[in-house]
Amino acid sequence: MADFLEIDCKLEDIIPEKTRKTRTPQFKQARTVRPAPPRYRNEISKYIILRNEELCLKCGKCVEICPQGVHVKSLGYKYFAQPHSHLCFGPVCEKKGCYCITACPQGALRIQENPMMKALGDYRWPAEMILATWKMAENGECPSEDYGYDFETGKSEGGFDRIRFKFPDRPPVELKDEEIDTSIELNRRHDGRARIRIDVPWYGGGMSFGSVSNTTQLSKARAAVAWNTFSCTGEGGFMERMRPYDDHMITQVATGLFGVREETIQRVPIVEFKYAQGAKPGLGGHLLGDKNTQAVAKMRETVIGISLFSPFPFHSVYSIEDHQKHIDWVKHINRRALISTKVSTPNDVDMVAVGSYSAGTHIIHLDGGYGGTGAAPDIAKKNIAMPIEYAIPKVHNFLMAEGAREQVTLVASGGIRNPYDVAKAIALGADGVVIGTVEMVALGCVRCNRCSAGRGCPRCIATTDKTLAAKIDLEWGAQRLINTYNAWRNEVVSILRRLGLRSVSELRGRSDLLMHLDYTNVVVEREA
Amino acid sequence: MPEKYHITTKPVPPRRPRIGKYGIVDWREDCARCHNCVKKACVYDRHRDEIKYIRDLETVDALFFDCMGCFSCVQDCTKNLLCLTINPEYEKLGNSYWTPEIILTTWAQAETAKIPVSGAGYGGKFSGYGFDSMWTDMSEIVRPTRDGIHGREYISSAVDIGHNSSFLVLNGDDVVSPLSPILSTPMPLVIDRIPDKYALPKLDAIIVETAVKTGLITLVDARKWPLAGVDADKCLPHIAFYFAAGAAMLSEEILKKTQLAEIEDDRNVKSRIRALKQIHPGIVVAVRVELTAGGMQRAIDLADEDVEVIHIVADSNGREIGSEHPMFIKDMIRKVHRSLIENGRRDDVTIIAGGGIALPEHMVKGVLCGADLVSIDLPLLVGLECHLCHQCGDSHTCPAKIQEISLSYGVGRMTNLISAWHDQLVELMGAMGMRDARRLRGDVGRAMFFEQLEEEAFGRLFGNRLQA
Are the beta carbons of A359 and A324 closer than 8 angstroms?
A: yes
Q: Is B298 on the interface with A (CB under 8 A)?
A: no
Closest-CA residue of chain A to B129: A157
- Interfacial B residues in 242-271 facing A (CB < 8 Å): none
Confidence (pLDDT) at B2 = 66
Closest-CA residue of chain A to B133: A383
Of A20-24, A418-422, B2-6, B464-468, the range with the lowest mean pLDDT is A20-24
Q: Give the C-alpha separation, A347 to A343, whole Å.
A: 12
- Whether residues A282 and B135 touch (CB distance < 8 A) is answered with no
Confidence of residue A310 (pLDDT cuts 50, 70, 90): confident
State pLDDT tens for residues B250-279.
999 999 999 999 999 999 999 999 999 999
Name A162's Cβ contacts closer than 8 Å, sequence gap at least 6.
A153, A516, A517, A518, B126
Q: Give the C-alpha separation, A236 to A253, whole Å.
A: 9
State pLDDT tens for residues B91-126.
999 999 999 999 999 999 999 999 999 988 899 999
Confidence (pLDDT) at A488 = 98
Would you say residue A318 lies in a domain? yes
Would you say residue A332 lies in a domain? yes
Q: Give the C-alpha separation, B239 to B258, whole Å.
A: 6
CA distance A203 to chain B (A): 18
Confidence of residue A11 (pLDDT cuts 50, 70, 90): very low
CA distance A323 to chain B (A): 10
Q: What is the mean pLDDT of chain B?
A: 91
**DSSP reduced 3-state for B374:** strand
- Whether residues B149 and A468 touch (CB distance < 8 A) is answered with no
Nearest to B229 by CA among B256, B211, B202, B250: B202
Confidence (pLDDT) at B148 = 46
CA end-to-end span of chain B: 52
- Whether residues A159 and B126 touch (CB distance < 8 A) is answered with yes
- CATH code for position A339: 3.20.20.70
- Cβ-in-10-Å burial (0-12, 13-18, 19+) of A185 comes to middle
Would you say residue A415 lies in a domain? yes
Confidence (pLDDT) at B52 = 81
List of chain B residues whose C-beta atoms are within 8 Å of the C-beta of residue A118: 85-86
Element (H, E) at A196: none
Confidence (pLDDT) at B25 = 83
Provide the β-strand partners of residue B448: B135
List of chain A residues whose C-beta atoms are within 8 Å of the C-beta of residue B43: 454-455, 458, 468
State pLDDT tens for residues A76-92.
888 899 899 999 999 99
Name A58's Cβ contacts closer than 8 Å, sequence gap at least 6.
A73, A78, A79, A80
CA end-to-end span of chain A: 40
Confidence (pLDDT) at A211 = 85
Domains and CATH numbers, chain B: 22-92 (no CATH), 152-452 (3.20.20.70)
Section B353-376 average pLDDT: 98
Confidence (pLDDT) at B426 = 93
Confidence of residue A9 (pLDDT cuts 50, 70, 90): very low
Q: Give the C-alpha separation, B62 to B87, whole Å.
A: 12
| Range B222-229, long-range pairs (CB < 8 A, 24+ positions) | B222/B247, B222/B248, B222/B249, B222/B250, B223/B247, B223/B248, B225/B250, B225/B254, B229/B202, B229/B205, B229/B407
Q: Quick count: other Cβ atoms within 10 Å of Cβ A63?
A: 15
Confidence (pLDDT) at A283 = 83
- As a whole-number percent, the residues of chain A with pLDDT over 90 amount to 73
Of the residues A153, A320, A379, A511, the best mutation for testing chain B's interface (the one with the most B CB atoms within 10 Å of its CB) is A379
Of the residues B65, B117, B444, the best mutation for testing chain A's interface (the one with the most A CB atoms within 10 Å of its CB) is B117
Confidence (pLDDT) at A6 = 37
**Type of residue at B370:** G
- Interfacial B residues in 52-81 facing A (CB < 8 Å): 68-72, 74-78, 80
Q: Give the C-alpha separation, A15 to B462, whole Å.
A: 47
List of chain B residues whose C-beta atoms are within 8 Å of the C-beta of residue A309: 149-150
- Interfacial B residues in 335-364 facing A (CB < 8 Å): 359-361, 364
Which range of residues forms the domain containing residue A403?
Answer: 2-30+185-501
Section A494-507 average pLDDT: 98
- Interfacial B residues in 103-132 facing A (CB < 8 Å): 105, 115-127, 132
For chain A, the domain total comes to 1
Nearest to A410 by CA among A428, A435, A429, A385: A429
Confidence (pLDDT) at A412 = 98
Element (H, E) at A280: none
- Cβ-in-10-Å burial (0-12, 13-18, 19+) of A7 comes to exposed
- Interfacial B residues in 423-462 facing A (CB < 8 Å): 424, 427-428, 430-433, 445, 448, 453-454, 456-462
Residue A417 C-beta-side C-alpha neighbours within 13 Å: 34
Confidence (pLDDT) at B30 = 82
Residue B467 C-beta-side C-alpha neighbours within 13 Å: 0
> What is the DSSP secondary-structure string of A10-32?
-GGGGSGGGS----SPPP-----
- Whether residues A381 and B448 touch (CB distance < 8 A) is answered with no
Confidence (pLDDT) at B366 = 98
- Whether B205 has a pLDDT exceeding 50, the answer reads yes
- Whether residues B430 and A520 touch (CB distance < 8 A) is answered with no
Would you say residue A19 lies in a domain? yes
Strands (E), B46-132: 82-86, 117-118
Would you say residue A391 lies in a domain? yes
